[in-house]
Amino acid sequence: MRGYLQSIETMGLVDGPGTRTIFFMQGCPLRCAYCHNPDAIRLQGGREITPAEVLEIARRYRSYYGEDGGVTFSGGEPLLQGEFLHKSLELLKQEGYNTCIDTSGIGNRAFFPDIFPLVDTLIIDVKAFDQESFANLTLTKGFGEYLDFLASLENYGFQGQVWARHVMVPGWTDNEQSMRDFVRILRPICHRIDRIEILPYHTAGVEKYRKLGMSYRLEGVEPMDKDRAKELEIYANKVFAEDLQQERKKAQARSEEKYKILRDRQVVSKQEQAEMFASLRELPLLREVAEGDVEAVLDEIILSNIKAGDYIFRTGDAPDLMYLIYQGEMKIFYNTIDGEEQIFYIYRDGDFVGGLNLLVETPYRYVGQALTDCRIIAIPKATFDKYFYDSSVVLRSVLTKSFDRIRWAEELIQRLATSNASMKTAGLLLKLVKRIGVETEEGIRLELSMNREELGNYSGLRRETITRKLGQFKDLGYIDLVGNKVIIVKDLEALEAYVL
C-alpha cells in the first residue's frame, strides 16, 4: 500500500490546530482556476510513501506537536487516495496522534466511512456557492456531490470539528451576498464549525504556469485586497453566529413542538394504557428493563396516538427522543436536493427508530411521518441513558437494527443505480412480500399503506412509471391489483427472475 506525495512540511502552523506535519498528497479531481500546484494535479508522480513511513515521520516530530498539534493530510486532494489515507490514519490513531484532513470534499467515497471516524479536524475548502460558479471555477460538475458530502459527513462517522475556508477572488465572491451564501452552504454541519476563514486570492502561482507552458485562467486578475477580505471574513462570521443562534432557536422550538404534539395526543384512557403497558413488555427493547424499574420507565415514556400524515420527527431534530412503534406504520424518508422524496424504510409494529441517534448524540438525518394512524412510544434520552444504556441486549439490538438499515440502504443504492424499471418494481414487490406479505388462497396478499407516489419514492421510480409497471405485471399474470391499496402476488418466481 503506497501513496503518492507531493511534499512534506514538518512544522506547519496554519493547516490545522497547533504545530503539525503536513503531507501534501498528489492528485486532484478539480481544476481550480487559481490552483498554485498545477503540477500536482495528476495522481501519479511525486514521491511514493507507505502508511508505516507516515507514522515514522510523525513519530520523529511528535515532541513539537504539543497538546493540539499533529498530522495533516492536504493536497492536491487527500480523499482521492482513500485506501492509503485510511491506513495512515489508522496507524496514527493507534498511537494517539491528532489528525486533520484539508479537502475539497470530492474523493473516493467508498473509503469515507473508514476515514471520517479517524479525523479530528476537517478543513473544508468551499470553492463556490452555486452549481454554475462551481463549474466555472473548478471545471467540474461536482457541486451536487459536494453538497451531499457536507450533508453526509456525520453519516460517515465524522465527530470532529470543521474549519471552513474559502479562497476569495476579486469580482467573484468579494461581496456580502456571497458570504451569506457561504454560511448557508455550511448549515448541515453548522454545529461542528469551529472557524470560518477567507483566504485572499494571490498571484504567487502564476509564474509556475508560465514555466510549465500552461495557460492561466485568471490572467490579469489582481490579488484580493487583504483588508477587504478580512472585512468580509468578519461579516461571514457574524452572519454565521446569527444563523447558528437562529438554528438553535428553531431546533429548540421544534423540540418543544414535538413534545407538545406527543403530549397532546397522549393516551389518556386507563384501559388503553393498561393494554399498552401489558404489551410493552413483549417488545424486544423493553424486555430487558429490570422488573423493579418498569414502573419508573412507564412513568417517563410518552404513549401517543399519532394520526396518519403527522410528522414524528424531521431532519435536524435533536437526538432527545427515540421512538418505538406500538401499532401502525411510519415511513422514513429524505428530501433529495432535487426536491424528490426518497423513502428509505417503512417501519411497523415493534420497530424502533432513533436508538443510534441517542447513543452517538447526532441529530436526525431523515424525516419520520405516520403512514397510518399510529401508536408511538417516545422514550426520552434521559430515560434511555438511565435504564437502557447499560443493557448489552438493548445495545446489541440498536446496533443490529442499524446494521440492517445500512444493508438495506446499500441494497437500495445498488438497486437505484443498476436496475431498470421492471427490476426496481419487482425488487420492491419482493421486499414488501418479505415484510408484509400474507399467504392467502389467491396468492400473497400485500395490504399497502402507501399510495402509488410513495411506492415510487420507495423504489426510485416516478408515480406514472410504477403505475404502468404494476399494470404490465398484472397483464402478465404476475400480480393482481385490488383497488389502490391491495396487491396479490400470484407468481413469485417470475418476480424473483427480475432481480436474481
Residues forming the site for ligand SF4 (CB under 6 A): 28, 30-32, 35, 37, 41, 75-77, 104
> Looking at beta carbons only, is 6 or 21 nearer to ligand SF4?
6
> Looking at beta carbons only, is 205 or 350 nearer to ligand SF4?
205
> Looking at beta carbons only, is 35 or 377 nearer to ligand SF4?
35
CB of residue 6 vs ligand SF4: minimum separation in angstroms? 9
**427 contact partners, CB below 8 Å, separation of at least 6:** 415, 419, 459, 498, 499
CB of residue 217 vs ligand SF4: minimum separation in angstroms? 11
Rounded (5°) CA angle 86-153-83:
15
DSSP letters of 32-66? Answer: -TT-S-GGG-SSS-SEEE-HHHHHHHHHHHHHHHT
Peptide bond into 76 cis (omega under 30): yes
CB of residue 115 vs ligand SF4: minimum separation in angstroms? 17
> Looking at beta carbons only, is 77 or 454 nearer to ligand SF4?
77
Element (H, E) at 135: helix 131-138
> Looking at beta carbons only, is 41 or 470 nearer to ligand SF4?
41
> Looking at beta carbons only, is 30 or 262 nearer to ligand SF4?
30
CB of residue 180 vs ligand SF4: minimum separation in angstroms? 23
CB of residue 78 vs ligand SF4: minimum separation in angstroms? 10
Question: How many C-beta atoms surround the C-beta of residue 442 within 10 A?
Answer: 11
CB of residue 148 vs ligand SF4: minimum separation in angstroms? 17
Classify residue 53 by burial, with Cβ atoms within 10 Å: 0-12, 13-18, 19+. Answer: middle
Cβ atoms 33, 219 nearer than 8 A = no
CB of residue 37 vs ligand SF4: minimum separation in angstroms? 6
In this structure, which amino acid lies at residue 407?
Answer: R
> Looking at beta carbons only, is 62 or 109 nearer to ligand SF4?
109
Cβ atoms 198, 168 nearer than 8 A = yes
Cβ atoms 55, 83 nearer than 8 A = no
> Looking at beta carbons only, is 31 or 59 nearer to ligand SF4?
31
How many whole angstroms from its chain centre is CA 452?
27
CB of residue 40 vs ligand SF4: minimum separation in angstroms? 6
Element (H, E) at 415: helix 392-418
- Burial string for 330-369 (b: 16+ CB within 10 Å, else e) reads bbbbeeeeeeebbbbbbbbeebbbbbbbbbeebbbbbbbb
Name the residue among 129, 88, 85 with its Cα closest to residue 103.
85
